[in-house]
Amino acid sequence: MNFWPLWVGYLAVSIACAIQVKVDCNVRAEGSQTPITAATNREGNDSSGDSTRSMFYRLLLFALISRIVLIPMEGMVGSEYLKFVAKTFPEMTFASAWTLLVSFLVQLVGTASGTGIYTQPSLMIQMIAYGIYLVLTLVAMHTHGAFVSVYAVLCFIYAILSGALLYFGPRLISILYPSLLRRSSLALRLVCSCIVCVLIFAAKAVELAQKVFSPSDEKKALIEYLLLELFPTVALLVMMFPSSRMQRQKSSNGSDSVVPNGKEGSALRGGSSKRKDTLPIVKSKTSYGTV
């Protein structure tokens, strides 16, 4: 199987992701916040949302690099065990990155609705997940049954991620509904990101569940990499890339805002509001969009 065209695709996307990491570092170094993550911070300091987003970019870059390094092994080595590691380790790194992205979206819903949901995975949780993967891959050296266990664990992770977005996604859309009526670019990108993630996570869960019962062939695996890893990564990077050309819709206090709603809990909307009831969204020249 010729994997080189796909390898070039991963390389190009990893370069784009590295550029996004650099842009994000510059934004944070300037002490500014993006419209999406400033909603998680009332004081205007570096918010937990900013930290989560920044870590997501880095983990996504790491996942892309791991796939670039290991995908040639799938077609060049004869050992089934090495092929298994080459396939599953990038799967684990992508799952780790997607977990941070889901945490970011859930955290945004909690902040905007006033429920204070905080789900940022700690370093310890990430280490435990990789520890479980390491143990199972070591056991796989001696028993083929561990192969199935790794795919089952990955399937469970993606099923949890999909379920979390199926629950919080409608809440996010409800919060963003007033802004969607105004065709807000930021609101549209958030909703599109959520929809893309739900579809991809559900498809990944089904794909991994199939591998529990029967391994896929190389041709099918490359198609899965293209449709379930490469394309979603490109789509999310495009939707999350900052644009300095986007116009900001100002509220009466001179900034975009997330305005709590007494009946629903909160709503992302424009118009006048009291300053004490407003969470500032845009505080810098660099903008990821406006609500």
CATH assignment of the domain containing 225: 1.20.1070
Q: Is residue 287 part of a domain?
A: no
CB atoms within 10 A of CB 65: 17
Q: Is residue 113 part of a domain?
A: yes
Q: Is residue 290 part of a domain?
A: no
Distance between CA atoms of residues 229 and 15, nearest Å: 15
pLDDT at 248 over 90: no
- Rounded to an integer, the average pLDDT of 219-224 is 82
Q: What is the mean pLDDT of the chain?
A: 76
Q: Is residue 285 part of a domain?
A: no
Domain count for the chain: 1
Nearest to 242 by CA among 270, 282, 196: 282
Q: Could you read off the pLDDT of 120-136 as tens digits, one per residue?
A: 555 677 788 889 999 99
State residue 108 phi and psi, 5-degree precision. -65, -40
Which of residues 80 and 258 earns the better pLDDT score?
Answer: 80
pTM: 0.77
Q: Is residue 291 part of a domain?
A: no
CB atoms within 10 A of CB 51: 16
Q: Could you read off the pLDDT of 62-98 as tens digits, one per residue?
A: 999 999 999 988 878 878 889 899 999 999 999 999 9
